[in-house]
């Protein structure tokens, strides 16, 4: 059975004003300021919008973003009831539904999340409907849960909230497909219970006029395993921040990312992994390709290993391939370590053009320069794609990559 539901059918917040949120303990106006290391790794976490001034291009977290193209989403663009729809096929054993009003409000911040920026604080205050994907404890769902989020109107600002909740020792695969035209603030909360095993992929393949500011928060349970893939292709401006924390030792996180920016497109990914409990693992691999004038991407990977996080094993890597002149990729890996008792903490980043030796090797076997480039770009992406582990996503993205390559006549 296919269900399509319009997200956000209720007109704005139904409960009180900005501070009328006390009903929910996770969100109730709490403000946490982490002292100690003073850096952008520790922005203010608060549900109070007033705690988050409108960012400017001088704000560390927004310095790469083209603020003027955000249609005010980062500032005060008023959220309205919109045209975003969510569609999914029912799968036995998984509860997928839209939760509105007070019940929906109670789900905001359910992953123990407090907003760290204005747009997300405003989103939580506004209380859009929550699309809840609930997998009960101890259940194993083999078939991927696929939810398509479709936009139909980029002229209004909308907000959307998704909560993926896996009970203890549950196993599931979740795919979010985002498409269509929208101006949207998006919060995706991911709560993996103790011993849970989640493989999730988000395909952001918006229409060319879409602006999206997204925030993913992943809460990894004790001994839980989470694979999080973010595949960003379409849209005018798409900025996704992913915050990760671990609720207990033994958490294992793999993050994969692919993006392809065409002329004029701006795609940004920001990752913040907070290692607090001991013996957790994080492995991050993001790759991007850029082609065309003013194709721009930014990638910032922050890993914080706190004093208690002994036995941490952390690796992050970002690679960018510039296919043409006029494109620009920023890449900033950051590592902050407060303990020496770790297994590994490595980060690297590389941005470059085609490797001449790769092209020479292929051409020396009779392969034309165009085909050689195509093979190299495909290979560049497939190194990540092969790890995603969801065949429908791999097929979809392979097709998307071919479509992108066709743009530059390859």
Partner 1 sequence: MAKLEISDLHVSVITEDTSKEILCGVNLTIDAGETHAIMGPNGSGKSTLAYSLAGHPKYRVTSGTVLLDGADVLSMTVDQRARAGLFLAMQYPVEIPGVTTSNFLRTAATAVRGQAPGVRQWLKEVKDEMESLQMDPDFAQRSVNEGFSGGEKKRHEILQMSLLKPKIAILDETDSGLDIDALRVVSEGVNRYKAESAAAGEAVGVLLITHYTRILRYIQPDFVHVFVAGQVAESGGSELAEELEADGYVRFTGQAVPA
Among 171, 249, 358, 408, binds partner 1 (CB under 8 A): 358
Residues 46 and 52: their CA atoms lie apart, in Å, by: 8
Contact assessment for residue 152 and residue 180, using Cβ atoms and an 8 Å cutoff: yes
Closest CA to 141 of 104, 91, 176: 91
Q: How far is C-alpha 364 from the geometric centre of its chain's CA atoms?
A: 40
> CB-wise, 6 or 376, nearer to partner 1?
376
Nearer to partner 1 by Cβ, of 155 and 368: the residue is 368
Return the CA Rg of the chain.
Answer: 21
Q: Using CB under 8 A, which of the segments 61-69, 156-164, 170-178, 369-377 binds partner 1? A: 369-377
* 380 sits near partner 1 (criterion: CB under 8 A): yes
Could you say whether residue 362 binds partner 1 (CB under 8 A)?
yes
Bridge partners (DSSP) listed for residue 329: 297
Compare residues 37 and 350 and give the one whose CB is closer to partner 1: 350
Report, in Å, the least distance between residue 243 CB and partner 1: 29
Out of 81, 207, 332, 375, name the contact with partner 1 by CB under 8 A. Answer: 375
Taking CB under 8 A as the rule, does residue 348 contact partner 1? Answer: no
Which range in 23-31, 106-114, 146-154, 372-380 contacts partner 1 by CB under 8 A? Answer: 372-380
Binding partner 1 (rule: CB under 8 A), the pick from 379, 395, 406, 407 is 379
β-bridge mates for residue 214, sequence order: 186, 240
Q: Which is nearer to partner 1, 241 or 321 (CB)?
A: 321
Question: Quick one: which of 34, 363, 392, 408 contacts partner 1 (CB under 8 A)?
Answer: 363
Q: Which is nearer to partner 1, 206 or 380 (CB)?
A: 380
Q: Which two tokens stand for residue 161?
A: 């909230």
Tokens found for residue 307: 């004093």
74: helix, strand or coil: coil
Residue 381 within binding range of partner 1, rule CB under 8 A:
yes
CA 185 to chain centre: 12
**Residue 379 beta carbon to partner 1: minimum distance, rounded to whole angstroms:** 3
Burial (CB < 10 A; 0-12, 13-18, 19+), residue 31, is: exposed
Phi, psi (deg, nearest 5) at residue 224: -80, 160
386 scored as a contact of partner 1 (CB under 8 A): yes
Q: What are phi and psi of 99, to 5 degrees?
A: -115, 125
Residue 378 near partner 1 by CB under 8 A: yes
What is the helix, strand, coil percentage profile of the chain, to 5? 15, 45, 40
**Selected range binding partner 1 among 163-171, 275-283, 337-345, 354-362, rule: CB under 8 A:** 354-362
For binding to partner 1 (CB under 8 A), which residues are involved? 355-358, 360-369, 371-372, 375-376, 378-383, 386
């Amino acid at each position: 059975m296919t269900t399509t539901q319009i997200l956000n059918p209720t007109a704005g917040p139904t409960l009180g004003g900005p501070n009328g949120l006390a009903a929910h303990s996770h969100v109730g106006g709490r403000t946490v300021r982490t002292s100690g290391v003073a850096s952008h790794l520790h922005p203010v976490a608060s549900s109070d919008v007033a705690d988050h001034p409108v960012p400017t291009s001088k704000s560390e977290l927004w310095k790469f973003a083209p603020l003027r193209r955000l249609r005010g989403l980062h500032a005060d663009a008023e959220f309205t009831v919109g045209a975003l729809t969510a569609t999914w096929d029912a799968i036995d054993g998984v509860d997928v539904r839209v939760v509105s009003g007070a019940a929906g409000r109670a789900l905001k911040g359910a992953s123990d999340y407090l907003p760290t920026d204005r747009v997300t604080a405003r989103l939580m205050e506004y209380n859009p409907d929550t699309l809840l994907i609930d997998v009960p404890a101890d259940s194993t769902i083999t078939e991927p849960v696929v939810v398509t989020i479709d936009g139909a109107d980029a002229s209004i600002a909308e907000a959307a909230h998704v909560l993926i909740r896996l009970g203890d020792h549950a196993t599931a695969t979740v795919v979010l497909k985002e498409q269509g035209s929208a101006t949207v603030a998006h919060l995706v909360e991911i709560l993996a219970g103790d011993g849970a095993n989640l493989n999730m992929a988000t395909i952001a393949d918006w229409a060319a006029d879409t602006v999206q500011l997204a925030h993913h928060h992943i809460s990894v349970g004790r001994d839980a395993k989470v694979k999080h893939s973010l595949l960003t292709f379409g849209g005018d401006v798409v900025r996704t921040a992913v915050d990760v924390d671990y609720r207990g030792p033994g958490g294992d996180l793999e993050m994969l990312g692919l993006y392809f920016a065409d002329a004029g497109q701006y795609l940004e990914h920001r990752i913040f992994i907070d290692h607090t409990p001991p013996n957790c693992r994080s492995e991050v691999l993001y790759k991007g390709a850029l082609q065309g004038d003013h194709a721009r991407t930014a990638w910032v990977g922050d890993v914080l290993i706190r004093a208690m996080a002994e036995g941490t094993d952390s690796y992050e890597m970002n690679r960018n391939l510039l296919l043409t002149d006029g494109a620009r990729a920023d890449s900033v890996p950051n590592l902050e370590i407060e303990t020496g008792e770790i297994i590994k903490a490595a980060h690297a980043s590389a941005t470059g053009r085609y490797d001449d030796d790769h092209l020479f090797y292929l051409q020396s076997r009779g392969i034309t320069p165009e085909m050689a480039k195509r093979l190299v770009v495909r290979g560049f992406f497939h190194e990540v794609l092969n790890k995603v582990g969801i065949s429908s996503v791999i097929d979809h993205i392979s097709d998307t990559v071919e479509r992108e390559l066709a743009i530059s006549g390859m």
